[in-house]
Amino acid sequence: MIYWFDLIGTFVFAISGALAAWDKKMYHDIFGVSFTAFVTSIGGGTMRDLILGVRPVWVGDKNYIIAIALGVLVTVLFRARLLRFRRSIFLFDTIGIGFYTVIGLQKALLYGVHPWAAVILGMISAIFGGVIRDMMVNEIPLIFSRQIYATACLAGAALYIGLRHIGVDEDWNMIASILLVIAIRLTALKKGWSLPYLQKH
């Protein structure tokens, strides 16, 4: 189940990256759209794996490349419908960070990382690809805005650790933690929640 969740996250983040590129009028160059989708999909996981000292999973498994290609294809075929709704990029990004938070956390724990550090690696897995994507399309990365973004990842990761500690079934734990990340992000948008400003003085 972890493997399929990882592929779904890769697919969803590929759509997020391709949509962001298309929204910035990069559609004249299919390579540019595809590369943005690729980096968005594998950026966070690759950074996590490098920190863990292991080979990034996509290097040895063609299914990740297939998932990214399918994400680009879906964007190309249905871009008009997706871009008609300005929240499409937000929605796919939100689903992606939910999946990647939990997948990254699980992999860190698998390699014996302390749970607190694993929470941070889960967050890195979720947000780093989006940071690269935003920089590529000349946007301020969401992590540097007041939006509830990394905080949602940390909350989902903390829930996973808590449920794991009390022995909740792994599959149900994954689902609950992913849904919490998504729910916090969507609720924050609907309610207009944001992080407080830090005072200069």
**Which residues have CB under 8 Å from 146's CB, separation 6+?**
194, 195, 196, 197
Q: Do 189 and 90 meet the contact criterion of CB atoms below 8 Å apart?
A: yes
For the CA atoms of 130, 136, 138, 139, the dihedral, rounded to the nearest 10 degrees, stands at: 0
Q: Is residue 200 part of a domain?
A: no
Integer Cα distance of 167 and 170 in angstroms: 8
- pLDDT at position 28: 65
- Per-residue pLDDT for the chain (201 aa), expressed as one digit of tens each? 778 888 988 998 898 889 888 877 766 678 888 999 999 999 999 999 999 999 998 999 999 999 999 999 998 898 877 766 656 677 878 888 998 999 999 999 999 999 999 999 999 999 999 899 889 888 888 777 777 888 999 999 999 999 999 999 998 999 999 999 999 998 988 887 777 766 655
* 71 closest CA partner among 16, 149, 132: 16
Q: Do 141 and 131 meet the contact criterion of CB atoms below 8 Å apart?
A: yes
Q: Is residue 166 part of a domain?
A: yes
Q: Is residue 181 part of a domain?
A: yes
Q: Is residue 10 part of a domain?
A: yes
| Domain enclosing residue 176, as ranges | 1-191
Q: Is residue 196 part of a domain?
A: no
Q: Is residue 197 part of a domain?
A: no
- pLDDT at position 104: 93
Q: Is residue 199 part of a domain?
A: no
Q: Cβ atoms within 10 A of the Cβ of 157, count?
A: 29
Q: Is residue 4 part of a domain?
A: yes
**Which residues have CB under 8 Å from 36's CB, separation 6+?**
17, 18, 20, 21, 26, 133, 136, 137
What is the number of structural domains in the chain? 1
Chain center to CA of 4:
15
- pLDDT at position 199: 63
